[in-house]
Amino acid sequence: MFHGRACQMRERSEGGGLAKGAIRLTQVSLIVVLCRCWRPMPTPALGWLDHDESARLPRPGQSDVILKTAPPMSTSAYQHLVQRHLRMHRLGHLQSIASWDQSAFMPPKGNEARAAALAEVGGLLHEMGTAPELKTWLDQAGAEPLTEVEQASLREMRRAWDARNALPPSLVEALSLATSHCEHAWRSQRPANDWAGFLPNLKEVVRLQRDMAQRLSDAQGLSLYDALLDRYEPGMRSAEIDRVFGDLRQWLPGLIQRVMAKQADEVVLKPEGPFAKSAQRELGQAAMQLMGFDFEAGRLDESAHPFCGGVPEDVRMTTRYREDDCLPALMGVIHETGHGRY
C-alpha cells in the first residue's frame, strides 16, 4: 500500500545512535510511484520575473512575467523599457530573497524592521513601475518594428503598467506591512490555535485586498474576483473556472467513492516514527532530483509553511517537518518543486 511503499522502517540499537524509524528508500520507492506521471517540461521561454510588489512571495506565482530579450539597437523606446524592467527585476530579486529569509531564517525580533524594509522596497518598485515616462515609452515602442517575442514582452509590460497605476503607493505599502505582520504572528498563533489573536490581522489583510480588488475592477472593467485572478492567471475568468469544475463535479464524486470502497478492504502499513528531519530532508531532495530540480540554481530549507520563492536563477523552496509523520514534508517538497521547475 501507499504508506508501505513510501518508507521501510528499521530499528537500530541505541548504541548505534539512531532511533527507531530511520527512513530509507526502497528499490521501488514512493517517489517513483508519485513521479510516474511527471514529465519534465522544457525550460520556459520566460526568462525572468517582474515581481508584483504588493504580494508576498512565495507563491511565488503572483508575478508579472516579462520576456527577457536583448534590447535591439534600433528601438530606443523598447530598449528603455527593457532596461527599466531589468532594474526592477534585480531589485525584486533582492526583495524576494529578503522575504524568503524572513520566513526561513530571520530571528523573531527582526520582523518589524524587515516588514518595514520590504514595504519600502515594494514602494520603490511601485514608483519605478508607474513612472510617467513608461507610458511614453510604451506608446512609442508600440510603433517600432519588434519581433514576435518582443511584442509579447511589450504586451506584458503594458499589462503590468496598467495594473500598477490602478493602485496608490499607500495601498501597496500598507498591504505589504499587513501581510508581513499577519504571517509572522500566525506562526505562533497556529500551534496555539489562537483564532481570536489571528482574526484582527486577517481582517486587515482582507480589507486591503478588497480595496485593491475594487480599484483593479474599476480600472479593468472586470468583476472583483476576476480582477484579482488576472494578477496570477492573465486572461483567465471565473466563467471558465466554473466550466472546468462543473465538469469535475459530474464524475469526481463517484470516483472518490469507488476508491474509498476499494481501499476499505485493504491493509495499510503505516510507518512508525519518529522520523529524523535529516532523513526526511534527504528523501525530499531525492524526490527533487527525480523531478529535475537544479540544485545549482536553488535550495530547500524549512519554514512554518511550505512555499517557493526567489527568481528563476535563484529559487528558494521550503517545506515543514513533523517527526511523527514523514508524508506531509514529502508532499510539500513535491508540490513546491512543481513551482520551482519553472
The three-class DSSP label of residue 149 is helix
| Dihedral (CA of 308, 210, 51, 82) sign | positive
Residue 124 and residue 91 in contact, taking contact as beta carbons nearer than 8 Å? yes
Is there a cis peptide before residue 274, judged by omega within 30 degrees of 0?
yes
Q: Could you confirm whether 336 is annotated as catalytic? A: yes
189: which residues sit within 8 A by CB, 6+ positions away? 195, 197, 198
Catalytic residue among 53, 150, 173, 336: 336
- 92-105: string of b/e by CB count within 10 Å (b at 16+)? bbebbbebbebbbe
Work out the end-to-end distance of the chain between its first and last CA atoms, rounded to an integer number of angstroms.
32
Closest C-alpha among 134, 161, 158, 145 to residue 75: 145
Q: Which residue's entry shows cell 500598507?
A: 174
At 317, phi and psi to the nearest 5? -115, 150
Beta bridge partners of 279: none
Q: What amino acid positions are annotated as catalytic residues?
A: 336
